[in-house]
Amino acid sequence: MTRTVLVTGFEPFGGDATNSSWEVAREVARTWEGPGVLVPERLPVTFAGAPLALREAITRVRPAVVLCLGLAAGTDRVRLERVAINLADARIPDNDGAQPVDEPVDPAGPAARFTTLPVKATLARAAERGLPLTSSLSAGSYVCNAVMYHALGLLPGAPVGFAHVPELRAEEDVADFAACVREALATALELGTADSRLIGGAIA
């Protein structure tokens, strides 16, 4: 059976003309050589619309792996997010003009959901290849965090996760960031949700 991979990116927000997450999602789709079929989807930057669009895409595509991408300005590496929290606290209005303050993403949901991607194994492989990939312990409290939280609730048991990508500055950035995303997808397709027990973590 052909396995399908769903990679989402976002439309622009906050007055920007483009969103690097959609540029990278498109680049990954353009260069995908398998295994399986990769479907890119562009999500709205809205607390109300993004979860609906994601749910619709998951129902239509029936993916084996889901990786959602979003822009994190001011970073220089792709960040595999480990935790989505049940908190919507928006510093700026979303593209609908909605600006939730200290609300739950899902009033009936758990406090947090952890990525089911094999993050440590992916980081080890990326480091061997010199790719600009790292991990992060918070996807924030804006639309990206909400999408990650919903994605993990929609496909329990499958490898599902989120990566923040930097802005595109240099010409090679889109190819480098797409290579990070491909590494995460290839690792998930190979290992499923079974991560390697590698030392890592962060000391605050």
- Chain centroid to Cα 44, Å, comes to 14
Catalytic-residue membership of 150: no
CB-based contacts of 86, cutoff 8 Å, min separation 6 = 104, 105, 106, 109, 110, 111, 112, 149
Residue nearest to ligand PCA according to CB distances in the complex: 144
Q: Kindly tell me which residue out of 70, 100, 118, 159 binds ligand PCA, with binding defined by CB under 6 A.
A: 70
Site membership for ligand PCA, residue 72 (CB under 6 A):
yes
Tell the smallest beta-carbon distance from residue 154 to ligand PCA (Å).
18
d(CA 151, CA 137): 17
Tell the smallest beta-carbon distance from residue 94 to ligand PCA (Å).
8
Catalytic residue among 68, 81, 180, 183: 81
Q: Are 88 and 146 in contact (CB under 8 A)?
A: yes
Active site members: 81, 144, 164
* Residues forming the site for ligand PCA (CB under 6 A): 10, 13, 19, 21, 45, 70-72, 140, 142-144
